[in-house]
Amino acid sequence: MRVVFLVIFVVMFLFSGCATQTQSVIIALKNKNIAIHNQAILKKTFTSKIIEVYNLGELSFKLRLSHYRVCINNQCMDKARFIKRLNPHYPTNLLDKIIQKQPLENIPITKTSNGFIQKTANFTYIVTPKKALFKDSKSHFLFLIREL
């Protein structure tokens, strides 16, 4: 019985270690309340995406996206409310789509040789294998993630 329990524990431990993807990125996040442009750590799990920025070895900024919540430096808010504060016309899953480098729904896509571009009258969204850039000049919102 102990052997079975031990085997199950080891297997679960090994698989849970593979559940988190971690990578170094450059992040730029700018709006009327936040201005960050720095190297960061991006962690993707089954339930959330976390961006951590460190300055001199100390955590200076943390953005956590879960299915229904957005937390900035442990101050959490409903995701739909957070996105609507940025711009009422943005989709609720905007930040998730940018981090995952996926196209936004219901917006025409122009394929490029190494990615795609989506444009509206208000914003431009550009994705390449190493970069995702969302820029809205009208709302003064910029979100860039570039892999190192």
Q: Would 11 be classed as within a structural domain?
A: no
Q: Would 8 be classed as within a structural domain?
A: no
Number of structural domains in the chain: 1
CATH number assigned to the domain comprising residue 128? 2.50.20.10
Q: Would 67 be classed as within a structural domain?
A: yes
Strands of the 21-30 sheet, one edge to the other: 75-78, 69-72, 58-66, 48-55, 35-44, 21-30, 141-147, 131-136, 123-128, 115-119, 109-112
Q: Would 4 be classed as within a structural domain?
A: no
Radius of gyration of the chain from its Cα atoms, rounded to whole angstroms: 18
Strand residues in 4-47 grouped as ranges (E): 21-30, 35-44
pLDDT of 100: 95
pLDDT tens digit sequence for 53-112: 998 889 999 999 999 999 999 999 999 999 999 999 899 999 999 999 999 999 999 999
Q: Would 123 be classed as within a structural domain?
A: yes
Q: Would 15 be classed as within a structural domain?
A: no
Q: Would 93 be classed as within a structural domain?
A: yes
| Residue 36: domain span | 20-147
Q: Would 115 be classed as within a structural domain?
A: yes
Phi and psi at residue 62, to the nearest 5°: -140, 125
pTM: 0.84
pLDDT tens digit sequence for 23-38: 999 999 999 888 999 9
pLDDT of 109: 96
